[in-house]
Amino acid sequence: MDFIREKTQRPITLSLHGWQWFLLGIVLTLALTGGLAACYQGRKISRITGAAVHVDLPADLASYEKIVSISFHKDANGETFKDVTYIGADGKLHSQEFNDWGIFQGEIIWDLAGE
């Protein structure tokens, strides 16, 4: 006779001691700080570390000769916006915005009337 054993699942419990919680907090803080720092494209990190900040230009920018203008301006909160206007691989004029945090950046593609 075959006996079918019912498999019971044991709940996973996490029981950490005080020093383990402290160590976990440090690891999570370092991971969060590193993740935020990786998103930051401002010069403040460069001033602190002495290493240059590298911002990748759009993929459809073929060469530096295709750049029309680069501008910098600050908003009321002190964040710096960098705008690069260039002629893209499609032959159209593009304006790409870069901000300090690398999120919520926008692009404008300028079209001539009738194209």
Q: State pTM to two decimals.
A: 0.58
* Of 56, 55, 108, residue with least CA distance to 86: 108
User: Which SS3 state, helix, strand or coil, does residue 24 take?
Assistant: helix
Half-sphere exposure at residue 4, Cβ-oriented, CA atoms within 13 angstroms: 1
The two three-digit tokens of residue 97, written as one number: 């915005």
Dist. CA 68–CA 58, nearest whole Å: 14
Tens-digit pLDDT string for the chain (115 aa): 455 566 667 777 777 777 888 888 888 888 887 766 666 666 677 777 787 777 788 888 989 999 999 998 888 887 788 899 999 998 999 999 887 776 777 899 998 876 6
**33 Cβ contact partners less than 8 Å away, ≥ 6 residues apart:** none
